[in-house]
A and B are shown apart, each in its own frame.
Chain A
Amino acid sequence: MKVLVPIKRVVDYNVKIRVKADQTGVDLANVKMSMNPFDEIGVEEAIRLKEKGVVTEIIAVSVGPQATQETIRTALAMGADRGILVKVDHEIEALTVAKILAGIAKAEQPQLIILGKQAIDDDSNQTGQMLAQLLGWGQGTFASKVVVEGGKAEVTREVDGGLQTLRLNLPAIITTDLRLNEPRYASLPNIMKAKKKPIDEKSPADYGVDPAPLLKVLKVTEPPKRKGGSKVKTVQELVDKLKNEAGVI
């Protein structure tokens, strides 16, 4: 079966971002960009399913500017077979991405689409669920374990109270959580091989989708800074302050 793995190019999780002085957004000039960490987990899971013989082809898909090619190459170097880049030059919202991905799913007919649970830039946590609705498929979000067997996917999910296991008809949507796997690093020979793997270039119009923004961003500001940094010398002083100064115990 085919698997689609949507991946997003985001500011690397180690970067401390800065809000632009004119409040129009976050400063992305010369900032290190990487694959969204949850999407690396998605690529890894697809590769493991291929190694188990469940999956035959892995297609890495990204919606973003030309530079997103690099992110798709990273997925190809990890082990994806081919890529699709849907070119959009501005920031794009979850619903629009989901509509584009639904168009790709109709063209490619995958049995499984594995997304990240959350993009660490917009922290939306929506795209996979929206895509599932648009396609009329079942969803296993926040997955920490996936078993594909007998035309079904059994997905264990990380939920507020602990874990929950579901059984989904295929085709289905899965979104990854942190404990699903530990993504591999691409080896040098695989990085070289990835250069020859194909990446198709498409536009939202190819899928009949208008990429215009749906929400208007009025401003982006810095959160209020916390005044921390005070120290206590002893446990006794700590307890005294919590009781008599802060009054929280």
Chain B
Amino acid sequence: MAVLLIAEHDNTSLKDSTVKSMTAAKALGSPVDILVAGHNAKAVADAATKIAGAGKVLLADDAQYAQQLAENMAALVVELAGKYDAVLSPASTSGKNFMPRVAAALNVPQISEIISVDGPDTFTRPIYAGNALQQVQAGAGKKVITVRSTAFKAAELNGSAAVETIGAAKGPGVSEFVKDELSKSERPELASARVVVSGGRGMQSGENFHLLEKIADRLKAAVGASRAAVDAGFVPNDYQVGQTGKVVAPELYIAVGISGAIQHLAGMKDSKVIVAINKDEEAPIFQVADYGLVADLFKAVPELDDELKKQGY
């Protein structure tokens, strides 16, 4: 089965989610070609050649792919899809944006956010905020799949695929890019960080997130949040962890002032170790926490900072 994996990137660096999605792609068949569609994205294509299992890396380098607008991406992928039996992309906001268009153009259903490949046409995916797992079997047509990359191990990076430059496809010209307002951070990315420190409504203000940032800096962690903290304007939207935000599965997840609604748990319950700091001992977050600390966060978090500092972090 020939597979096309679409790379997730920002024109400069290849995202870890691509390397993880490769593991899902390889489970389906080979060769697995990787498409890098971007602008001035040669460095990304070069990085993709290192992913073990890559057949070749197709580079479509054109201004119209600079922001990966869904209409243009779909037109390109549909044009390439003829040669492949399956098309995969990480289930990032970008993949979620263009992949359903690809599926509709190919007249096949999309299988969203798979967490395992159970057979050449059989996949498991979470439904109802991860409270149920659905195993589905695809029909005869091409397979269009988005991958929950946190559910797959990263592929090795000892490959040496070749880059093949391809032309742009004609997009429908119905949308145009106006601007990006991207959050800048020196910290690791939320989706792939080894440690995540998240705050909820209990933080009370955006300023108080500095308490968590100090901990995050000591542990080289990313900072996340609950929906309530984002809605209240404490932190930007891209901090949201959950059913309808980002899904994370770090080694360590520290939830501070978060009650543990199912929609939040959906985004973090596959973390290896979960710590909860909450003053309400009945908070549902404690049911999933490996280490729960019933305490006022305004006392416990500064103490945690002191203790980590004392221990040399």
A residues at B contact (CB < 8 Å): 11, 13, 16-17, 19, 26, 38, 93-95, 98, 117-118, 120-134, 136-142, 144, 154, 157-169, 172, 177-179, 214-223, 226, 228-236, 238-239, 241-243, 246, 248-249
* Contact status B110-A94, CB under 8 Å: yes
* Contact status A16-B262, CB under 8 Å: yes
Task: Tell whether A123 pairs with B127 under 8 Å between CB atoms, given A166-B175, A168-B174, A232-B292.
Answer: yes
* Contact status A121-B127, CB under 8 Å: yes
Residues of A within 8 A of B158 (CB): none
Q: How far is the CB of A17 from chain B (nearest CB, A)?
A: 5
Residues of B within 8 A of A243 (CB): 311
Residues of A within 8 A of B237 (CB): 144, 158, 162-163, 177, 179
* Contact status B100-A163, CB under 8 Å: no
SS class, residues of chain A in contact with chain B: mixed
Other A-B contacts than A19-B131, A249-B195, 5 sampled, CB-CB below 8 A, are A120-B243, A130-B103, A132-B70, A228-B289, A235-B295
B259 located at the interface, meaning its Cβ lies under 8 Å from any Cβ of chain A in the complex: no
Question: B274 touches which one: A19, A38, A228 (CB < 8 A)?
Answer: A228
B128 located at the interface, meaning its Cβ lies under 8 Å from any Cβ of chain A in the complex: yes
* Contact status A160-B133, CB under 8 Å: no
8 A Cβ contacts from B143-187 to A: 172, 174-183
Interface Cβ pair total, 8 Å cutoff:
260
Q: How far is the CB of A232 from chain B (nearest CB, A)?
A: 5
Q: How far is the CB of A35 from chain B (nearest CB, A)?
A: 16
Residues of A within 8 A of B177 (CB): 164-166
Assembled-state Cα–Cα distance A169/B96 (Å)? 21
* Contact status B135-A139, CB under 8 Å: no
Interface centre among A130, A168, A229 (most CB of B within 10 A): A130
Assembled-state Cα–Cα distance A242/B286 (Å)? 16
Residues of A within 8 A of B138 (CB): 215
- 24 A-B contacts (beta carbon < 8 Å): A118-B244, A123-B128, A126-B103, A138-B172, A139-B70, A139-B101, A139-B175, A142-B93, A154-B178, A158-B237, A161-B183, A162-B236, A163-B237, A165-B177, A166-B178, A168-B174, A172-B174, A177-B237, A215-B139, A220-B127, A222-B132, A226-B269, A242-B273, A242-B275
Q: How far is the CB of A95 from chain B (nearest CB, A)?
A: 5
* Contact status A214-B139, CB under 8 Å: yes
Task: Tell whether A166 pairs with B69 under 8 Å between CB atoms, given A141-B97, A159-B238.
Answer: yes
The residue of chain A having its C-beta at the shortest distance from the C-beta of B107 within the complex is A95
Task: Tell whether A17 pairs with B132 under 8 Å between CB atoms, given A120-B243, A130-B103, A165-B178.
Answer: yes
Residues of B within 8 A of A131 (CB): 104
Residues of B within 8 A of A130 (CB): 100-101, 103-104, 110
* Contact status A123-B126, CB under 8 Å: yes
* Contact status A95-B175, CB under 8 Å: no
Residues of B within 8 A of A239 (CB): 304, 307-308, 311
Residues of B within 8 A of A38 (CB): 244
Residues of A within 8 A of B110 (CB): 94-95, 124, 126, 130
Assembled-state Cα–Cα distance A19/B132 (Å)? 7
Interface centre among A117, A125, A140 (most CB of B within 10 A): A125
Residues of A within 8 A of B58 (CB): none
Task: Tell whether A228 pairs with B111 under 8 Å between CB atoms, given A17-B131, A216-B136, A218-B122.
Answer: no
Can you list, as one digit per residue, whether each of B36-53 has a CB less than 8 Å from chain A (1) or not (0)?
A: 000000000000000000
* Contact status A230-B290, CB under 8 Å: yes
B71 located at the interface, meaning its Cβ lies under 8 Å from any Cβ of chain A in the complex: yes
Assembled-state Cα–Cα distance A19/B251 (Å)? 29
Residues of A within 8 A of B128 (CB): 11, 17, 26, 120-121, 123
Assembled-state Cα–Cα distance A120/B295 (Å)? 33
* Contact status B291-A223, CB under 8 Å: no
Task: Tell whether A138 pairs with B273 under 8 Å between CB atoms, given A124-B112, A160-B92, A160-B191.
Answer: no
8 A Cβ contacts from B77-121 to A: 92-94, 96-105, 107-113
* Contact status A231-B292, CB under 8 Å: yes
Task: Tell whether A220 pairs with B135 under 8 Å between CB atoms, given A161-B238, A229-B287.
Answer: yes
* Contact status A141-B103, CB under 8 Å: no
The residue of chain A having its C-beta at the shortest distance from the C-beta of B141 within the complex is A214
Residues of B within 8 A of A122 (CB): 127
B129 located at the interface, meaning its Cβ lies under 8 Å from any Cβ of chain A in the complex: yes
B193 located at the interface, meaning its Cβ lies under 8 Å from any Cβ of chain A in the complex: no
Q: How far is the CB of A228 from chain B (nearest CB, A)?
A: 4
Task: Tell whether A178 pairs with B132 under 8 Å between CB atoms, given A133-B104, A248-B252.
Answer: no
Task: Tell whether A231 pairs with B134 under 8 Å between CB atoms, given A118-B244, A129-B104.
Answer: no
Q: How far is the CB of B223 from chain A (nearest CB, A)?
A: 14
Residues of A within 8 A of B127 (CB): 26, 121-123, 220
The residue of chain B having its C-beta at the shortest distance from the C-beta of A166 within the complex is B175
8 A Cβ contacts from B250-285 to A: 251-252, 262-263, 269, 272-275
Task: Tell whether A168 pairs with B175 under 8 Å between CB atoms, given A218-B137, A231-B292.
Answer: yes
